[in-house]
Structure 1
Amino acid sequence: MTSWTVTTLRIGELYLPHGGAIMRDPVHVWLVRGVVADKPVNLLVDSGMADIPTVHARLRVKGVGGGHASLIAALATEGLTPADIDYVICTHLHFDHADNLDLFPDSCVVVQRAELQAAVDPVPSQRVFYWKSTLANLMERKRPAQLKLVDGDTDFLPGIRLLSVPSHTEGMQVVVVTTEKGRAALVSDLGDHYRYWFPADPRATSHPQRSLADAFITGNIRSESERTWQAAMRRVLDNSDIVVPAHDFRIPVRIPEQWFAIPDSTEGDLAHVPPGAAET
């Protein structure tokens, strides 16, 4: 079995309302590297968000970073350019996870067929999160060299498994990466903070809920029922050793060098924007 490494790349932040304050929401992508059939392979899980001026114009949401420049700079820290990426695996096609695909014209984008269909005809509450520019890029790609549609759970490469988990979106998928220490699930927005996965653990959340010791917290932006979402999260835990949420500041930067199921403390779970910063 091929053993992979994972590097978290932060390409920006969104400033989102939360409990009467403004929360900093980090936007991450993941660089996954390994060797298959004696050939180095570079995968990028998600491609991040557009630049903040574009996001603000569309959604009236502020923040920092994003766009081509941030993603190119992040890859450069690892000695890579967009041309070095063999595959871009999209967990889903929302604006903060699947923008910038035009940086990868020769890479193969991998997405669930159900998610592409959802982008064409989203549930009404998610129309603002699917952008036509992303859909247009996908539709212009040549298959199968530049676009691969998968149906359900897929053993994509040795040590890279895709789990179909309809929940946040109809075609949501989780990427399970086999490393020297075990299986790391890049769970994206299936549970984008540790507090959603471990709601009763005081290390994961500053407001532990003992009544949820055997359950999870699901999100408000959803295409499926709460029971379906709960079952999806349970299935991911059953098929991995650690989870890596999309928007938590505490996630490991280098896997497997950093390896933990739950962070040591709640510091970084919720980070608020300094007063006045969101208005600049």
Structure 2
Amino acid sequence: MTCPVRMEPLPGTPPLLIPGDPYSVCVLLRGYAEPVGDRGAVRADGSVTLIVPTPGPGPRKPAAPVPGSPRGAEAQAALERAAAGPILVDTAGPWARGALLEALAGQGLAPGDVGLVVATHGHSDHVGNLGLFPAACLLVSRDLCLPGGTYLPHGLAEGRPLRLGPGLEVWATPGHGGAGDVSVAVAGTARGTVLVAGDVFEREGDGDGWRELSEDPAAQERSRRRVLAAADVVVPGHGGPFRVVRGAPGPQETHPLVGSGQELDGDRLPDVGRGGRPGDGRGAGWARGGPGGCHQPVRDGSTCKDVEIIIVFVTGLGLFATPASSWHLRSLSAPRTPHP
């Protein structure tokens, strides 16, 4: 059976909050790519996304390495400890240093507050500000480095993710930059599963244009299908986030997915306003007691019903909805003009 999926842009401009439990997602900077002149030059920068754990009833207790544990266990424990604080996915190019610092400050954060930086791949428009985070654990493609320069082995591979926390994983999604590309999957948001996918997708509706930019188009095609099979929302490398709608095709770009026989039950995700509980019309954001909320929250719900998908989930991430987070996102004093 073939099941088409449709991409629809998610309304709003950065900072764009998708609240969740146990993690909320906020797109801080929207990536872009635009031609310059007529000789093939492109002006571009990558998206930057913040992932913040929702406070629970007690302190988080990340795993500690066990003496004599198998290879990779130390890396797993280090990642879970680092993920107990804010996580940044990609850092844009060095020319965006000021915009990144401003966006972090708008959420009440300084670079030293970030516990983990994940770079989806090694291109300059995604790793250009790694130097702002010397105290953070770094996962750059598949290189895991602790503060101070200690590199740890780990077992990340296609079909074998790295777990950062409940419903939070790093996936191997090779293709665009080669074999080492990664994406971050966040389950349990008010919009379902969010995939921060780097340049697996350039943008919503990128057609076949991504192929000429890919180091390994066959691997990237495989990664794209896996992302579309699992995600409800995708944050691409050079455009705004978009919804993945399964079912009858519409006017937007569609992608056929060959069914595997696994079905998704129909569930309507809660209508989350700019704060408080789903559907109560009040807005939410996270915060250390911060006022306000995200400049453009996600409000509308979505439905997914009776759909067969291409890949059986091997990661344990599912499609489910939870109430809005009790964290609060603070808006910038003046909303930043989004990149084109």
Alignment TM-score, normalising by the size of structure 1? 0.61
Is 1:142 aligned with 2:143? no
Q: CA, structure 1 residues 2+140, in 2 after alignment: closer, same or farther (shift >3 Å)?
A: closer
Change (3 A) 1:11 1:183: closer
Letter in 2 for 1:218: W
Cα gap change, 1:13/1:148 in structure 2, threshold over 3 Å: closer, same or farther? farther
Is contact 1:3–1:180 with CA below 8 Å preserved after alignment? no
Q: 2: CA distance between counterparts of 1:255 and 1:186?
A: 18
Sequence identity (%): 25
Q: Is the 8 A contact 1:49 1:95 kept in 2?
A: yes
SS of corresponding position for 1:218: helix
- Structure 2: distance between partners of 1:18 and 1:241: 36
CA 250–105 in structure 1, closer or farther in 2 if over 3 Å, else same:
closer
Alignment of 1:1-280 (within 5 A): 2-10=21-29, 16-17=35-36, 25=44, 27-35=46-54, 38-39=59-60, 41-51=85-95, 66-67=96-97, 69-113=98-142, 116=143, 141-143=148-150, 151-152=156-157, 153-169=161-177, 170-178=179-187, 179-196=189-206, 199=207, 218-224=210-216, 226-249=217-240, 257=298, 271=340
How many residues in Structure 1 have an aligned counterpart in Structure 2? 205
SS at match of 1:96: helix
Max Rg structure = 2
Structure 2 CA distance for partners of 1:28 and 1:218, relative to 1, 3 Å: closer
Deviation (angstroms), 1:95 = 0.3
Q: Assess if the C-alpha contact under 8 Å between 2:120 and 2:182 holds in 1.
A: yes
3-state secondary structure, aligned to 1:41: coil
* Bigger share in helix: 1
1:194 Cα deviation (Å)?
Answer: 0.5
Give the gaps of 5 or more residues in structure 2: 1-19, 61-83, 244-293, 303-338
Helix, strand or coil at the partner of 2:219: helix
8 Å CA contact 1:49, 1:99 repeated in 2: yes
CA contact (8 A) 2:46 2:90 kept: no
* Partner SS state of residue 125, structure 2: coil
Q: C-alpha separation between the residues in 2 aligned to 1:6 and 1:73? A: 18
Q: Is the 8 A contact 2:121 2:182 kept in 1?
A: yes
> Are the equivalent residues in 1 in contact too, given 2:135–2:147 (CA < 8 A)?
no
Unaligned runs of 5+ in 1: 52-65, 118-137, 200-215, 262-269, 272-280
